[in-house]
Structure 1
């Protein structure tokens, strides 16, 4: 990588970090490209060279968010490991993301920005669904191995993750409730895994 390329990458990262700061503090509508440029200490032209519009810049931040969550949430089926242990490990990684203050702040911005823009909301839902394919694949493998009952793997994954999000995500994003304590997180993880296996397990 050339020095010029490294400098270009540094500027792009500075713009992304500045945009995250501004979106978190001021929301989507109140954030301007001028303000982002000032916070990133680059010219407005530089910002537009990397991101032609605020919409594309915001989308880039969401993509970065989705990629980071996808990395954290990968789960691989193994017949040698107890189902309860596998599920709790997966849910614990999911919980780390859902209880991260930065993730919650950006989620609030993302939700607010999509309320009046259905197209953006649809795009977000599609990206989130792709990120959760890992658990769907895990459920299919467990069904094939005779550990889970037959059923729609996507629906089963939604039921599993919905239990976590209903307590550890949506109340914090929509109603400003505090992040769960470590003890509360552990109880929720264990209870969710137990409920899932009691209903879907063989």
Structure 2
């Protein structure tokens, strides 16, 4: 990689980090490209060279966030292992991610930014759905192995993650409740496992 390319990459990363800080502190509507440029110590033209609009910049932040989550949730199905033992670490990672302050702050920004813009909302919800794919793939593989009952994998994945979010996401987002303590995270995961396996595991 050439030196100019490395400088360009560093500036792009500085813009993204500055934007994250500004969006977290001030929300989507109040944050301006001028302020992001100042925080990143680059010119406004440089910001626009990388990101044509504030929406594009925010979308890139979400994409990076979802990509990180997807990487953390990769877990290939193992035919020889008990379903519960395979699902538990997947769901624990999900709950831990939901407890990440950076994730919660950006989720609040995203939700606030979408309230008055249905088009923006649809785009962000689609991105939020993409990172759940790891669990969907796992469920599909367990079904193919005859160990889970036939049900739309996407539906079942959304269902079990909804059980987690009802304790570890929506109360924090909508009512300002504190993040779940580690012990409570485990309790929520075990309860979700009980309900999911009771409903879908082939006996």
Could you say which TM-score interval applies, normalised by the shorter chain?
over 0.9
Q: Secondary structure, in 3 states, of the residue corresponding to 1:146?
A: coil
Name the stretch that deviates more: 127-136 or 73-82: 127-136
**Residue 189 (structure 1) aligns with:** 189
Cα distance in 1 for partners of 2:199, 2:96 equals: 25
Alpha-carbon deviation of 1:75? Answer: 2.2
Name the stretch that deviates more: 23-32 or 122-131: 122-131
Is 1:93 equivalent to 2:93 in the alignment? yes
Q: Secondary structure, in 3 states, of the residue corresponding to 2:119?
A: helix
**Residue 59 (structure 1) aligns with:** 59
Alignment of 1:92-111 (within 5 A): 92-111=92-111
Name the stretch that deviates more: 136-145 or 173-182: 136-145
Name the stretch that deviates more: 178-187 or 122-131: 122-131
TM-score by length of 2: 0.96
**Residue 116 (structure 2) aligns with:** 116
Cα distance in 1 for partners of 2:43, 2:8 equals: 13
Runs of 5+ unmatched residues, structure 1: none
Name the stretch that deviates more: 125-134 or 5-14: 125-134
Q: Is the 8 A contact 2:14 2:40 kept in 1?
A: yes
**Residue 15 (structure 1) aligns with:** 15
Name the stretch that deviates more: 65-74 or 105-114: 65-74
Q: Is the 8 A contact 2:66 2:130 kept in 1?
A: no
Alignment of 1:35-74 (within 5 A): 35-74=35-74
Alpha-carbon deviation of 1:37? Answer: 0.7
Alpha-carbon deviation of 1:128? Answer: 2.2
Q: Which runs of 4+ in 1 moved over 3 A?
A: none
Alpha-carbon deviation of 1:129? Answer: 2.1
**Residue 147 (structure 1) aligns with:** 147
Cα distance in 2 for partners of 1:185, 1:178 equals: 12
Runs of 5+ unmatched residues, structure 2: none
Alpha-carbon deviation of 1:143? Answer: 1.3
Q: Secondary structure, in 3 states, of the residue corresponding to 2:75?
A: coil
Cα distance in 2 for partners of 1:164, 1:40 equals: 36
Alpha-carbon deviation of 1:154? Answer: 1.4
Q: Is the 8 A contact 2:70 2:133 kept in 1?
A: no
**Residue 159 (structure 2) aligns with:** 159
Alpha-carbon deviation of 1:88? Answer: 0.5
Cα distance in 1 for partners of 2:53, 2:199 equals: 47
